[in-house]
């Protein structure tokens, strides 16, 4: 699911820039649901609202220098 959210960001980056440039956007189910000043703030809000692994946080900037893909899984390894 997160790969679809990242693709959504890539496909809509030019539209999102005027609204969120320099912010960390939270994307859930191919929709921006929040914009934050820090990665930590976005992560904590996302974790409490949607649970780890169910949201994408991406720094909204021009170009591809800020592309990140970090997956947090609920899986445990024993």
How would you write the pLDDT of the chain (78 residues) with one tens digit per residue? 788 999 999 999 999 999 999 999 999 999 999 999 999 999 999 999 999 889 999 999 998 877 755 555 555 544
In a domain, 69, yes or no: no
In a domain, 64, yes or no: no
Q: Could you list the residue range(s) of the whole structural domain that residue 12 is in? A: 2-59
Pairing between β-strand 56-59 and β-strand 32-36 as defined by DSSP bridges: unpaired
Structure tokens at 47: 């974790």
In a domain, 34, yes or no: yes
In a domain, 11, yes or no: yes
CA distances from 31 to 5, 6, 16, 37, 74 (A): 8, 10, 11, 18, 22
pTM of the model: 0.82
In a domain, 45, yes or no: yes
In a domain, 71, yes or no: no
Question: What is the number of structural domains in the chain?
Answer: 1
């Amino acid at each position: 699911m997160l790969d679809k959210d990242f693709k959504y960001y890539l496909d809509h980056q030019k539209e999102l820039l005027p609204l969120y440039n320099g912010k960390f956007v939270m994307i859930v189910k191919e929709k921006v649901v929040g914009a934050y000043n820090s990665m930590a703030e976005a992560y904590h809000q996302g974790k409490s609202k949607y649970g780890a692994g169910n949201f994408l946080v991406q720094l909204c900037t021009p170009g591809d220098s800020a592309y990140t893909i970090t997956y947090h899984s609920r899986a445990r390894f024993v």
